[in-house]
Amino acid sequence: MSRALSLAGFQVTLIGRFWVITEANGLPLKAKAKVVIRALETGRFDPKCYFIEYSRFRTIFWIPDVLKQPDSIHGNASKKIEGDEVYVRKYNIPGACLKLVFTAQAGAKKVVVTSFSIEEKDLENYAKLPPIWPPKSK
């Protein structure tokens, strides 16, 4: 699954969630979005080496909304998650009310690295404060 969005002069490509299967032990390893995109662009993508983590597809549907209308954009504060920027959008839902989308530069493209929901109190674990693009006035 691939989807392209045009945002503020750059193109964002959503690939979905791919995992690499190693030949040595048959265990799945995470495939970095940059690696999958490079393989797709160079014609070296082999779908037999990947499988899709279907349980995480539910996040794909709100990614365009978060990227097009974020409440704020931050630098990445996570030491474990690759990416340069974190797009944040607040939703009126109980529990994990913030949706985060991590992005990274891959050449001329901005690539979605990962996305998930968190509680507002945990934002500083993932996003540097203050934001690099301030929250919209409501």
**Average pLDDT per consecutive 10 residues, the chain (138 residues; last block may be shorter):** 47 51 52 75 80 70 91 95 94 85 87 89 96 72
pLDDT at 100: 95
pLDDT of residue 40: 81
Return the domain boundaries, the chain. Answer: 3-125
Among 136, 58, 129, 70, smallest CA distance to 103 is for 70
What does the alpha-carbon distance between residue 45 and residue 15 come to, in Å, rounded to a whole number? 12
Query: Full-prediction pTM beyond 0.85?
Result: no
